[in-house]
Amino acid sequence: MEQLIAFLTGSCLASFIVTMTQRHLLEMGPSSPRSLCDHCAHLLAWWQLIPLVGFALQLGRCRWCKKTIAPWSSVCELTCGTWLALYTPLDLTEWLASLVLLTGLSAMATTDWYAGWMNPLALTSLLPLPLIALSPLGIEQPALFLLVAGLLSLITLLSHGLGLGDLEWLLVVLLLAGWQCYWQTLLIGCGLALTSPKLWHRQPLPFLPYLSTGLLVSLLI
Percent of the chain with pLDDT over 90: 41
pLDDT, position 29:
58
pLDDT, position 69:
87
SS (H, E, C) 79-116: HHHHHHHHHCCCCHHHHHHHHHHHHHHHHHHHHHHHHC
Query: Reduced to 3 states, what is the DSSP secondary structure of residue 123?
Result: helix
Contact 55, 15 (CB under 8 A): no
The string of pLDDT tens digits covering residues 102-135 is 999 999 999 999 998 888 888 999 999 988 865 4
SS (H, E, C) 180-217: HHHHHHHHHHHHHHCCCHHHHCCCCCCCHHHHHHHHHH
Q: Over the range 93-106, which residues count as b (16 or more CB within 10 Å of their CB) and which as e?
A: ebeebbbbbbbbbb
pLDDT score of 33 more than 70:
no
pLDDT score of 139 more than 50:
no
* Residues in CB range of 56: below 8 A, 6 or more apart: none
- Place 138 in a pLDDT band, splitting at 50, 70 and 90: very low
The string of pLDDT tens digits covering residues 44-98 is 778 888 889 888 888 888 878 888 888 999 999 999 999 999 998 989 999 999 9
- The partner residues of 43 in beta bridges, in order of sequence, read 36
Question: Domain ranges in the chain?
Answer: 2-88, 142-218
Question: What φ, ψ does residue 134 adopt, rounded to 5°?
Answer: -110, 160
Percent of the chain with pLDDT over 70: 87
- List C-alpha distances in Å: 48 to 13, 37, 43, 64: 16, 10, 10, 12
- List C-alpha distances in Å: 114 to 71, 111, 191: 13, 5, 21
Q: Supply the pTM of this predicted model.
A: 0.87
